[in-house]
Amino acid sequence: MSPTLDRQEAQRLAEAYADLILRLAYTYCGHTQDAQDICQTVFLKLLEKAPAFQSPEHEKAWIIRTTANACKDLLKSHWRKTSVPLEAAAAVPAPQAEEGSLLAAVNQLPPPYRAVIYLYYYEGYSAKEIARLLGSNPATVSTRLRRGRARLKALLEQEGYE
């Protein structure tokens, strides 16, 4: 069983170092939300490990080093490199399906069929990849693709397509 800090000690550490951790994390990350996440991460590590510090200077050095390492981990993470802020995504309009287009017909399908048809034909994923993305079985995805195609064909025939 790992050692844990008592409530009073955890409160003391939070009061003594929360501002330092937030400010240091903000200088690395540049975002308040990321700095707050780092602060929580550092305190979780501190509470889980409950290291025995030799002096107040050792305690402060451990907190600073752990904060810096957590920031570096965040900055080099794959998620950080491949994502954009929500504000940037809001500026990109969703594609609108033109009346009578194939995409409009796909959008009329029930959601399970719509998703697999879209991912397969528009995004180019294989059935196995779609199964992994949706947390589904590849056989289920193949069945939904087959049934979705049949429903799409029926919809298109109703609209006069051959």
Q: What is the pLDDT of residue 85?
A: 67
Assigned token pair, 97: 């399906």
Distance CA 84, CA 79 (A): 9
Q: What is the pLDDT of residue 2?
A: 45
Distance CA 51, CA 59 (A): 9
Low-confidence ranges of the chain (pLDDT < 70): 1-5, 80, 84-100, 161-162
Q: What is the pLDDT of residue 138?
A: 93
Assigned token pair, 153: 């064909």
Q: 44-80 burial string, b = 16+ CB within 10 Å, else e?
A: ebbbeeeeeeeeeeebeebbeebbbebbeebeeeeee
Q: What is the pLDDT of residue 98?
A: 58
Q: What is the pLDDT of residue 92?
A: 64
**Mean pLDDT estimate for the chain:** 82
Q: What is the pLDDT of residue 1?
A: 39
Q: What is the pLDDT of residue 93?
A: 66
Q: What is the pLDDT of residue 17?
A: 87
